[in-house]
């Protein structure tokens, strides 16, 4: 009965969903990709995976794609004769996944209309489907189960705020959750929560956080210098990379940078908005503040940026390089109620991070960073300035926090191996 009612409702939403997708794509400058969203895959794309059993991994956006990288590498190594298909919901997620050598084919995830789901599953014919984190669509889950395709939830997590919402709508999530063959959760708390929402207890396993398996290493001075040369950043600058910033944070960062650069020589800011379509908005803030900047897309081999300036990054897929070339990192989405972003990315390259208190989506990682002393949590714009000043003026403090981050990465790995044990049962 649930799926019958659900499909009636989705049919009524067909035109509104299509129109909204067109509007959002035009507004954000994304390709429409309507064919793939409705389950139609080009023959030229299907030819890339023809003749091989397919492993389909779905990762909504950039964060999930990066978290899935260790798993994708393990799948490619463990199953070299399989085709790896990655689907995404956002353009930035797809752009990031397309750059991974492990991936054979990138697609947009279909709308959850029954005909869309059936069409794309018939075209791809996956041997197994892996859903990153907690992306649950009723028709997709049910149709996979109906076709006897093992469905796995990887790196599952349910934040404090989300749990109340999921629990209130457990009647909606229980039927699709029952379609999963295996549910891999990041923590014991997460496993208890997903069982309460409706997952079958015998399918749930605690496997840890794949984000802890991001490859980590101490960036050498030579590597850092080469990266700075690539981006035309002076080697002798102290570089602050502000990654995945969200609306409401950029003005604080610009204000802090302007204040500190007036006091401290050779400062440089790399400003990386989570969504590149916000570039014009941030450029206007920089112009109002009288801070000189250059966009990433306008850099050429002849470009020569100067201390006191800003590199405004209007591209995707370069975040790890931009953290690696930095001396200090700020991780966005944490000074505004977004839920935070991944603190492990700067930690994995030995760069100390600064972050705010709005970390609802990354509570376990937040706790680890604070436990190991790998970063500084701030509570106000004033603390942002003070913490930046402390790190910028003390190479020893940066070294200690950076080493703490690398130790944290070494001590908390192993999630990829545990996920692979669950996946191996179905391949």
Residues forming the active site: 64
Distance CA 337, CA 134 (A): 20
Query: Whose CA is closest to 359, among 340, 338, 342, 333?
Result: 340
Token representation of residue 18: 């299509």
Q: Which residue has the tokens 């995945």?
A: 244
- Which residues does residue 270 pair with via DSSP β-bridges, in sequence order? 241, 311
Q: Are 335 and 249 a contacting pair, CB within 8 Å?
A: yes
Query: Whose CA is closest to 348, among 316, 377, 372?
Result: 372
Distance CA 15, CA 45 (A): 27
Q: Which residue has the tokens 């997620």?
A: 93
Angle between helices 170-177 and 188-197 (to 10 degrees): 100
Distance CA 344, CA 384 (A): 19
SS3 category, 332: coil
What distances in angstroms separate CA 158 from CA 16, 93, 214, one per listed residue?
29, 21, 21
CA triple 284-289-295, angle to 5 deg: 50
8-12 long-range contacts, CB within 8 A, separation 24+: 10/112, 10/113, 10/114, 10/139, 11/113
DSSP code at position 298: G
């Amino acid at each position: 009965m649930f799926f019958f009612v659900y499909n009636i409702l989705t049919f009524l939403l067909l035109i509104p969903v299509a129109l909204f997708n067109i509007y959002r794509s035009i507004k954000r400058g994304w390709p429409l990709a309507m064919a793939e969203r409705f389950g139609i895959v080009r023959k030229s794309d299907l030819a890339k995976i023809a003749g091989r059993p397919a492993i389909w991994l779905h990762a909504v956006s950039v964060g999930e794609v990066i978290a899935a990288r260790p798993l994708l590498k393990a799948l490619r190594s463990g199953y070299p004769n399989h085709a790896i298909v990655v689907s995404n919901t956002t353009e930035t997620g797809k752009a990031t996944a397309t750059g991974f050598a492990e991936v054979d084919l990138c697609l947009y995830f279909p709308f959850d209309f029954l005909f869309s789901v059936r069409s794309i599953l018939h075209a791809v014919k996956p041997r197994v489907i892996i859903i990153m984190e907690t992306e649950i669509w009723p028709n997709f889950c049910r149709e996979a189960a109906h076709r006897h395709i093992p469905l796995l939830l990887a790196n599952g997590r349910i934040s404090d705020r989300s749990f109340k919402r999921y629990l209130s709508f457990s009647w909606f999530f229980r039927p699709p959750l029952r379609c999963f063959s295996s549910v891999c959760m990041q923590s014991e708390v997460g496993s208890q929560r997903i069982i309460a929402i409706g997952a079958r207890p015998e399918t749930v396993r605690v496997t840890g956080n794949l984000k802890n398996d991001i490859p980590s290493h101490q960036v050498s001075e030579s590597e850092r210098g080469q990266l700075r040369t690539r981006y035309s950043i002076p080697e002798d600058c102290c570089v602050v990379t502000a990654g995945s910033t969200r609306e409401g944070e950029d003005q604080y960062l610009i204000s802090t940078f302007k204040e500190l650069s007036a006091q401290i020589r050779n400062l440089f800011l790399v400003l990386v908005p989570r969504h590149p379509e916000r570039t014009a908005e941030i450029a206007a803030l920089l112009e109002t503040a009288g801070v000189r900047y250059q966009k990433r897309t306008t850099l050429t081999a002849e470009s020569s940026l100067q201390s006191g300036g800003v590199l405004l990054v209007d591209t995707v897929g370069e975040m790890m390089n931009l953290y690696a070339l930095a001396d200090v990192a700020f991780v966005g989405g944490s000074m505004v109620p977004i839920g935070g972003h991944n603190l492990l990315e700067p930690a994995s390259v030995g760069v100390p991070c600064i972050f705010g208190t709005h970390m609802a989506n990354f509570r376990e990682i937040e706790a680890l960073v604070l436990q190991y002393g790998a970063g500084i949590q701030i509570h106000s714009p004033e603390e942002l300035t003070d913490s930046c000043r402390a790190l910028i003026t003390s190479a020893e403090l940066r070294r200690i926090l950076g080493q703490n981050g690398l130790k944290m990465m070494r001590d908390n790995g192993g999630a990829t191996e545990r996920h692979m044990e669950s996946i191996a049962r179905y391949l």
